[in-house]
Amino acid sequence: MSAQARLDLTPPPAAEIEADAADALAEDLGGGDVTADLLPDVADIAYLLCKEDAVVCGRPWFDACHRALDPHVQIDWKVEEGQRVHGRTVLATLQGRARALVSAERASLNFMQTLSAVATVTAQYVAAVEGTGAKILDTRKTLPGLRLAQKYAVRVGGGVNHRIGLFDAVMLKENHIRAAGSIRGAIHSARARHPKLPLIVEVETLEQLREALGQGCDRVLIDDFSADDRREAVRIARAAPFDGRIPLEVSGGVDFTTLRGIAEDGVDCISIGALTKHVRAIDLSLKLGPPPNLQGA
């Protein structure tokens, strides 16, 4: 794992996680779990099984779902958050009330399988640019209501959060520049109104790049540049008088077939919507009973 991937395992505030869990449980349980009512409400055990290779992520949400229904449940994690595991690994064992274990199953798994998927894919992208110095950034293309959770999962996978929302950074795009009349005008307006916020400027030509670098900002996003123009953009940004002070970000047209080449061109950041948008859930299951002996599996 690269230097950029010093894992930030700081989750969102507990109140946010508990609210996520409460929403998920309310959606699933409604007026009550009519099938779990068929079970005797006795103490039981269960185990959480990961069926494929993955980066584990989502433990705080898993715990919150189960503790919301059984405050006395005991959850014994066998793996750490951010740990890479192979298929057929028991991630945790649980002891609690049978009905609560079953009722919390789907909501808790939904969080774990989604967040582990984001962390796993992010880790793959981070590994693909190893040694280039490029950072893998996420976007705002997240599942509604799960932005903080998914951006946490990106960090667990070794990626870097771009901006959380529309409130914590100014990002000037084509429409903003058009309304202001020029990049110069848009930057001056942004600095005047929001002097303490990071300023990111999206450019579409090398001429716009020179203008943005000359006016000063915190990052320039080169959008859909050809390979030749991208390399020229890197040369311009690193040469005098700019001297590499303003990092370059690439967005658009990025996948595993193009990623390494883009990173090797010398850009500083690569933002990828697929980290959180194209999520294929990790295959997990929660089963009542003692965990099987999977040694040698």
What are the extents of the domains in the chain?
3-123+279-288, 132-277
Report DSSP letters for 29-85, one per residue. HTT--TTGGGS---EEEEEEEE-S-EE---HHHHHHHHHHH-TT-EEEESS-TT-EE
* CA dist., res. 248 & res. 235, Å (int): 11
* pTM to 2 decimal places: 0.93
**Are 219 and 246 a contacting pair, CB within 8 Å?**
yes
- Position 8 scores a pLDDT of 81
> pLDDT-derived band of residue 3, with 50, 70 and 90 as boundaries?
very low
Q: Could you say which of 3.40.718.10, 3.40.50.300, 3.20.20.70, 3.40.50.11260 is the CATH number of the domain covering 132-277?
A: 3.20.20.70
Residue positions annotated with a catalytic role: 106, 141, 173, 202, 223
Rounded to an integer, the average pLDDT of 189-217 is 96
Q: How many CB atoms lie within 10 A of CB 29?
A: 16
Q: How many CB atoms lie within 10 A of CB 16?
A: 16
List the structure tokens of 167: 């409130």
pLDDT in tens, 118-151: 999 999 999 999 999 999 999 999 999 999 999 9
pLDDT in tens, 45-100: 999 999 999 999 999 999 999 999 999 999 999 999 999 999 999 999 999 999 99
- Position 294 scores a pLDDT of 67
Upstream peptide bond of 71 is cis (omega within 30 degrees of 0): no
The domain made up of 3-123+279-288 is a member of CATH 3.90.1170.20: yes
Angle, helices 105-128 vs 147-156, to 10°: value is: 50
**Are 222 and 262 a contacting pair, CB within 8 Å?**
no
